[in-house]
Structure 1
Amino acid sequence: MEYKDYYRILGVDRNASLEEIKRAYRRLARQFHPDVNPGDKVAEERFKEINEAYQVLSDPQKRRQYDVLGRGWHQWQRSAASGGFEDFARRWFGQAGPGVQFVDLDDLFGRGSLADLLEAFFNIGQPRARTTYRRARRGKDMEVAVELTLEEAYHGATRRVRRGDGRVITAKIPPGARTGSRIRLSGQGEPGRGGGPPGDLYLRITVKPHPIFRQEGDDLWRDLDLDLYTAVLGGEVAVETLDGPVRLKIPPGTSSGKTFRLRGKGMPRPGRPDRRGNLYVVARVQVPSRLSAREWELFEELARLQGRAAS
């Protein structure tokens, strides 16, 4: 397996502190996250490398092994997983035949370095002793169903959810969520096995129907009842949006079905809350079912004028 310089991958010095490693990881993980680079295979592979490097360098014990073994790190990983230390030793220290002993590692590396490491992990000095190692496995992903009101989907929300290890955390749901979307909480799924990383936790979103608004992608639709007089003569009416009321000018002669567009009053776009869809308002002209005597006379007068104009 090709040697990977985990320090170079994270862009940190070999003497970097754990906090410096964490900061570098968070910055790179955000930059190359698959959600930020959908369909980008190069970014996806880079993200995997970043995670692999962080899993080793953020663990003091694994980091020490990696620093000491260098290019033998991956060979040790394979040998440890299969319990085959003898093969590893032959590759790195030579074949020990009858009457041949390994050189004292303390003399070569000093007490407390490689000698301690190999003794701790491979039971050197214990004849016939053999250590078995479990292969590291990533934890399983989990999915939790989350139901939101349209207002919560518009403004963003939080939910208390249970992680794979049983702990309860507060998850942030960004503005613009819609039915069917999945939000990934990296590393919050089931714990890994044998030192493997945890899986991810996914929030599957469902937005409840709203009594006024209908959501279609980034856009919102709603009906607006207009009285006959405003529809005929024109005017200005208040229209309720998810951001509060706005004033809408109604031109004279507005008929049922006429659609008005309010730019930027729709849903926030996922990942771009500063950009929003539109709100479409459909006029529904309400014809009065009851008229006073005076109103009746006026409508009859209008009918006569209309008839005269038509003739």
Structure 2
Amino acid sequence: MAEVTDYYLLLGVTETASPEAIKRAYRSVARDSHPDRNPHDPSAEERFKLVQLAYQVLSDPRRRTQYDLVRTFSLDGELGPYAMGHKPFDPADSQDPLTSLFFGDPRGTPNPSERGADVEAQVRLTFDQALRGGTTEVRMSGGEPVRLTVPKGVRSGLKVRVKGHGRLGAGGERGDLYVTFRVDPVARFRREGDHLHVVETVSALEAILGTTRSITNAYGQTMKVHIPPGTQPGERLRLRGQGVETATRRGDLFVEVEVTVPRGLTDEQRQSLAECACKSGLM
């Protein structure tokens, strides 16, 4: 008699596992056994398909009930022609009998409702590419190029779905492609949501007396920024609408003031500053 695969063992759950536990286990096992993560393992694709089959059976209450009965008979060595009202399994058939029991003979007509697996991919973008958006390409494992639209102002970690570009299923329907964007950081700007942060350095005297700086935003536009007298170290100035621009809004640019204290003053310079501070009541 052909061997019946233990789907509970395959997913690493018990016979009494809840649907939620089965779903969590499936996600973990499917991720680890995905062919894209095991490119040098020739058996990875078959194992991945078997993991999908196990989840399809155990996540469906009706199929799970049928499977439990068949599995019980199999473990007892009593699986016979009466099981589930189905025909006997051919002992010479090397296929898992559960495949034909739940999904039809894999050598026969494919199930038209069986959809192909989804595929995950990552696309790296420069900071400037992410700001401006545009188009890029993802090359699939089979060499097929898929053209993508990069949303203007896309954030690192955003995932988009491209329908119909996953793996081809037995019924002829493809799964979907899920693409995660990864944006390379830059030294000058720090991004938080759609807001940008930049550090501007001024001297202690400039912070005391106030000054003006020319600030260039991430899009190359330059503007004058007034740093008021008495600005404290770490104080932030907000430039509205000068952050990241998306299709629906534009964030702000925050200028964080960093104050430096001059070193190496001459005795004459220190004396002049001290006299000025005394006259002004600052010390």
Pairwise TM-score range, normalised by the shorter structure: 0.5 to 0.7
Q: Do residues 229 (structure 1) and 202 (structure 2) align?
A: no
Q: 1 CA distance for matches of 2:147 and 2:203?
A: 47
Q: Which residue does 1:263 correspond to in 2?
A: 240
Q: Distance in 2 between matches of 1:232 and 1:214?
A: 27
Q: How does 1:162-173 map to 2 (within 5 A)?
A: 162-163=139-140, 166-173=143-150
Which residue number in structure 2 is paired with residue 210 of structure 1?
Answer: 186
- 2:14: which partner in 1? none
Distance, in Å, in 2 between the alignment partners of 1:143 and 1:261 is 39
Task: Verify: 1:193 aligned to 2:170, yes or no.
Answer: yes
Unaligned runs of 5+ residues in structure 2 are: 1-107
State the Cα RMSD in Å: 2.3
Counterpart residue identity of residue 269, structure 2: E
Output one character per residue of 1:107-139: Cα deviation in whole Å (capped at 9) or x when no partner: xxxxxxxxxxxxxxxxxxxxxxxxx53212222
What is the percentage of aligned positions where both structures have the same residue?
36
**Do residues 156 (structure 1) and 133 (structure 2) align?**
yes
Equivalent AA in structure 2 for residue 199 of structure 1? G
Q: Deviations over 1:128-179 (max 9, x none)?
A: xxxx532122221111122222222211243321247631133221122222
Aligned residue in 2 for 1:81? none
TM-score (norm 1): 0.51
Q: Deviations over 1:178-227 (max 9, x none)?
A: 2221022222222333332x221111122223212111112112211112
Structure with the higher fraction of residues in helix conformation: 1
| CA apart distance, 1:274 | 4.4
- Is the 2:118–2:167 contact (alpha carbons within 8 Å) kept by the matching residues of 1? yes
User: What residue in structure 1 maps to residue 123 of structure 2?
Assistant: 146
Are the aligned partners of 2:123 and 2:138 in contact in 1 as well (CA < 8 Å)?
Answer: no
Cα distance between partner residues in 2 of 1:218 and 1:208? 16
The alignment partner of 2:249 has SS state of strand
Aligned residues: 174
Post-superposition offset of 1:282 = 0.9
Deviations 1:248-305 (A, max 9, x none): 1111221212111111122234xxx241111111111111112245533321212322
Which amino acid in the other structure matches residue 243 of structure 1? Y
> What TM-score do the two structures reach when normalised by structure 2?
0.55
Q: Does 1:288 align with 2:265?
A: no
Q: Does structure 2 conserve the Cα–Cα contact (< 8 Å) formed by 1:165 and 1:189? A: no
The one-letter code sitting in structure 1 at the alignment partner of 2:207 is A
* Alpha-carbon displacement from aligned partner over 1:3-49 (angstroms, at most 9, x marks no partner): xxxxxxxxxxxxxxxxxxxxxxxxxxxxxxxxxxxxxxxxxxxxxxx
Q: CA deviation at 1:229?
A: 3.3
2:218, 2:125 → 1: CA distance? 14
Structure 1 Cα separation of the partners of residues 141 and 170 of structure 2: 13
Which residue is 2:55 aligned to? none
CA distance in 1, matches of 2:242, 2:269: 38
Structure 1 counterpart of 2:191, one-letter code? Q
**Structure number with larger C-alpha Rg:** 1
Contact 1:182/1:203 (CA < 8 Å) preserved in 2?
yes
Give 1:116's aligned residue. none
Q: Distance in 2 between matches of 1:140 and 1:268?
A: 35
* SS of residue paired to 1:166: coil
1:279 corresponds to which residue? 253
- AA of the residue aligned to 1:285: V
Partner Cα separation in structure 2 for residue 275 and residue 180 of structure 1: 19
Tell me which residue corresponds to 1:29.
none
Provide structure 1 residue ranges, at least 5 long, that are not aligned to the other structure: 1-131
